[in-house]
Amino acid sequence: MAKKRLNSKLKKVITFLFALLVLISVPSVPMPQVKAAQIYSWGSYGETVKTIQTKLKRWGYYSGSVDGIFGYKTYESVLYFQRSNGLKADGIVGTKTLEALGIYQTAVPLKTAAATPAPSTAAVKTPAAATPTPKTAEPVKTPEPTETPQSDGQSSKEADIWLIAKVINGESRGESYLGQVAVGAVIMNRVKSPAFPNTIYGVIFQAGAFDAIRDGQFDLTPLESCVNAARDAYNGWDPVDGAVFYWNPNTATSKWIQTLTVTKTIGNHVFAMN
């Protein structure tokens, strides 16, 4: 019995020592030289996006501006390029699509990737390159174009806009443009209301909040108009005056709905707040 206890104690000690050893040894494990796995997709911006746009344009896949913004037109032309070249058509420019485009990136260890300045190519005349000089932007001195960070990046705001666009597309792509902005505005109004989750993804994925999530229409690729409508709503346009609910009066008839204050009716949707 005593031996057994000793045994278990010994076991514990050994386990502890082993755990300690593992803990100590962790920092000494050399950091793997990870390649900065870069992908360019919806919401990406920067020099590489410009290069992608230039190539796609030269080969006739893209007809928009070379502005360094991975927007809807770039997205569509990437899909077009991928389909035409036997690549997986997902609208994401990863290693394979980059190679197919003839864009080769030097592998850099993650650690230094952030500090390495992107190669500065000749400035393309676009609205972004024409960032206002301090003269027009006073008193906050907006830095001159040369000061603008030329590195690639990913806009988190664009990710939010895409999410809203998917809800609008699933819920009201058959409505007028105003009706689409209105659904986006309801999402934004909910974010600001204490009675709902206070993030965009929280509002969208609240259990049972949107039929489009339940019936799978949320997963469709949104139409361009839905993306534009999502952007207007995100930027604060609210055609429904603070509404946090909407329904189709032909299918929703619950008693509770009738207690709400209707703000507007747009197309097939009634908008309301509590």
Based on CB atoms, which residue is closest to other proteins, 148 or 221? 148
Based on CB atoms, which residue is closest to other proteins, 89 or 257? 257
Q: Which of residues 245-264 bind other proteins (CB under 8 A)?
A: 245, 247, 251-257, 261, 263-264
Radius of gyration of the chain (CA): 26
Based on CB atoms, which residue is closest to other proteins, 33 or 198? 198
Instruction: Give the nearest distance from C-beta 86 to other proteins in angstroms.
Output: 26
Q: Which stretch binds other proteins (CB under 8 A): 23-31, 82-90, 98-106, 176-184?
A: 176-184
Based on CB atoms, which residue is closest to other proteins, 25 or 136? 136
Instruction: Give the nearest distance from C-beta 210 to other proteins in angstroms.
Output: 11
- Lookup: tokens for 165: 């666009």
- Show the site string, 194-233: x = touches other proteins by CB under 8 A, - = not: xxxxx---x---xxxx----x----------x--x--xx-
The Cα 7–Cα 110 span in angstroms is: 46
Whole-number Cα distances in Å, 144 to 108, 120, 129, 205? 28, 15, 9, 41
The Cα 236–Cα 189 span in angstroms is: 9
Give how many residues touch other proteins by CB under 8 A.
74
Contact 237, 190 (CB under 8 A): no
Q: Which of residues 109-148 bind other proteins (CB under 8 A)?
A: 126-128, 130-132, 136-143, 148
The Cα 252–Cα 246 span in angstroms is: 10
Contact 225, 210 (CB under 8 A): no
Instruction: Give the nearest distance from C-beta 95 to other proteins in angstroms.
Output: 23
Q: Which helix (H) or strand (E) holds 261?
A: strand 261-266
Instruction: Give the nearest distance from C-beta 5 to other proteins in angstroms.
Output: 36
**Binding of other proteins at residue 105 (CB under 8 A)?**
no
Long-range CB contacts (within 8 A, 24+) of 55-59: 55/101, 55/102, 55/103, 56/81, 56/101
Instruction: Give the nearest distance from C-beta 259 to other proteins in angstroms.
Output: 9
Q: Which of residues 22-81 bind other proteins (CB under 8 A)?
A: 45-46, 49, 63-65, 67-69, 71-73
